[in-house]
Structure 1
Amino acid sequence: WGVRDHRTIADYGDAIMGGRAAIPRMLATFSKHRVKATWATVGFLFARNRADLLDHAPALRPRYANAKLDPYPSAIHGIGTSEADDPWHFGRSLVDQIRDTEGQELATHTHSHYYCLEPGQTGAAFRADIKAAMTAAAEANVTLQSIVFPRNQMSDEAVRICVENGISCVRGNPDAYMYRPRGQEETGAAVRFLRTVDSVLPLTPRTSARPKRDARGALNVPASRFFCPRFLKVPGVSEAFLRRIKSEMLHAAQNDEIYHLWWHPHNFGRDTDRHLGRLEAILSYFERLAGDHGMQSVTMADCLAIAGEG
């Protein structure tokens, strides 16, 4: 659902299917290394079939100026009936597997992959979307406590709406120009280039941090680094990228800070073995830091408990 406005099943469907296959392997790897993770999940994926998805759709929906961003026409006319015949748009079996794996948190990625900074959306429509996400999750015996905003598009109003509805842990952005929340039209080539360079060379300060409650009432657990698969394919760049991650992890461990590594399952959907091998190396390094410095693995919801607020 997060790539439907710029990808098709014809050109990217194999990566989505590869991501599906990678999820059980990620869960096994996390269990092996005693690593907890937060899985920010679009509410649509809690649906068992198309009728279930449409039953949970809110009456009030965003009216994006860019109609391509609206997922509801696709949901009504462009998808199959269930996971059995359309595994690209349904994933309830994987949601259940994550929920039932020890140490894993299901968080929300909004109900409809909602874009909070795009023209045409409103606070009322976002509130309806979040309530729909909470209802769909509750019917799967999941209580939502955390949110990762799609494409990191967050606003003060949206965060306050989440807090009002009991979703009080937010993945924020690193404190640097190229990572500040912005809409699609503002995220140009220069911003993407700076983000790319920063993944290998330190353009920004250390990205580990201590979670803190902000003025909006949310506990902010900022992102540290996108585990970007394309860097793992390029000799030299791959090694520099992994060194940067390990250096940041060490700094976090030595300073009692959070290091928040993130990616999408579909990022591992191609060249999966290579990507999982790199992930294994990172998690093995985490175990070393756990032994040397007492570093712990926590979910976003765990951060609420650690802060005495969960």
Structure 2
Amino acid sequence: MTGSFVISLDFELMWGVRDHRSVQDYGDAVLGGREAIPHMLARFEAAGVRATWATVGLLFARNRDEMLSFAPRDRPAYEDPGLSPYADIENRLIGENEQADPMHFGASLIDRIAETPGQELATHTYSHYYCLEPGADADSFEADLAAAAAIAGHSGHKLQSIVYPRNQMSEAFIERGAGQGITAYRGDARGWLYRPRADAETTRLFRLARFIDGALPLGPKQVVQPDHDGQAWNVPASRFFRPWSKKLAFYHALHIRRIETEMELAARQGRCYHLWWHPHNFGRNTTENFVGLDRVIECFRRCSDEFGMVSRTMHDFTVS
């Protein structure tokens, strides 16, 4: 069996971090992530790397009024109202369009992604929906997905794969996704460290353990095997590609080596290696992050030459 290399990106700009970050303290990373996307696309095209871009539906909007016109009437009643973005939009706390507010609009980047060979546009829900937070429910989630499909369809795109925001998912939400035409989703990585949790359950201890496991083996090597679970294709995550930090440069070297080791194992065993990140993770220390990405792509090329490993999008598994 031929091994597969999968990349999925959670494309969200400020919508994915607005509940715990501000434009003042993180806007530079979001803008840097915008600038990094064309360079990612160029590398992917040059190396024949296919990737899935799970995109927050709000980013498709050409202006603020369009965000509201496609927004669902049935919205989540989160116990923490700050998790919902709609008040910010209705109260005009964001700009009018992409030119005025590039941190909350992304249509031009979506066009770039769609024009690049081998890239899949997928959904990250319309509003960056938190499935496991108190107040979320399956009906409003389904309405959210319908809104994401509608605004993407308005631009001529069909969304068939999903990445659940914060990797929060359950069988009920996976079933509702399938009902909205979703045929593939990014499941959680193997092991107790990566079980889906609400943010309140993801303690500092869990975060520290995941961080360590990114460089040193606390858990199993994350080679995976996509399969159909009766609702859709589960394309499990292998590893989050962590951004470079000057204070932790030694860690990043170990992290890249762990990725290379796992990818080579997946190639030898004819299994799958699924790497993911957010574009804004490259928004700071961009040069160093691309050095790491170049090493990952070179490792894939070696695995392709030596073991026949192929690059796939998440949707590719549903048609193979």
Higher RCO structure, 1 or 2 (CA under 8 Å, sep 6+): 2
Aligned to 2:55: 41
Shift of 1:36: 0.5
Aligned length: 305
Shift of 1:121: 1.2
Q: Does 1:25 align with 2:39?
A: yes
The one-letter code of the counterpart of 2:76 is P
Deviates more, 1:16-25 or 1:206-215: 206-215
Distance 1:20 1:41, change over 3 A: same
Structure 1 alignment gaps of length 5 or more: none
The one-letter code of the counterpart of 1:291 is D
Match of 2:108 among 83, 87, 93: 93
Separation of aligned partners in 2, 1:286 and 1:96 = 27
Matches within 5 A, 1:1-310: 1-77=15-91, 78-215=93-230, 217-230=231-244, 234-306=248-320
Separation of aligned partners in 2, 1:115 and 1:73 = 16
- Tell whether the 8 Å contact from 2:244 to 2:285 is kept in structure 1 after alignment: no
- Tell whether the 8 Å contact from 2:123 to 2:163 is kept in structure 1 after alignment: yes
Separation of aligned partners in 2, 1:230 and 1:196 = 13
Q: Structure 1, residues 62-96: CA drift from partner, whole Å, max 9, x if none? A: 01001111111112121010001000100100011
Shift of 1:295: 0.4
Separation of aligned partners in 2, 1:30 and 1:305 = 21
Higher strand share: 2
Separation of aligned partners in 2, 1:115 and 1:44 = 15
SS of alignment partner, residue 178 of structure 1: helix
Structure 2 alignment gaps of length 5 or more: 1-14
- Tell whether the 8 Å contact from 1:130 to 1:162 is kept in structure 2 after alignment: yes
Q: Once superposed, which parts of structure 1, at least 4 consecutive aligned residues long, lie more than 6 Å away?
A: none
Q: CA RMSD in A?
A: 1.1
Distance 1:108 1:232, change over 3 A: farther
SS of alignment partner, residue 315 of structure 2: helix
Q: Structure 1, residues 93-148: CA drift from partner, whole Å, max 9, x if none? A: 00111011100000000000000001111111001000000111111111111000
Identical positions, percent: 50
Deviates more, 1:98-107 or 1:205-214: 205-214
TM-score, structure 1 normalization: 0.96
- Tell whether the 8 Å contact from 1:232 to 1:275 is kept in structure 2 after alignment: no
Separation of aligned partners in 1, 2:286 and 2:81 = 33
TM-score, structure 2 normalization: 0.93
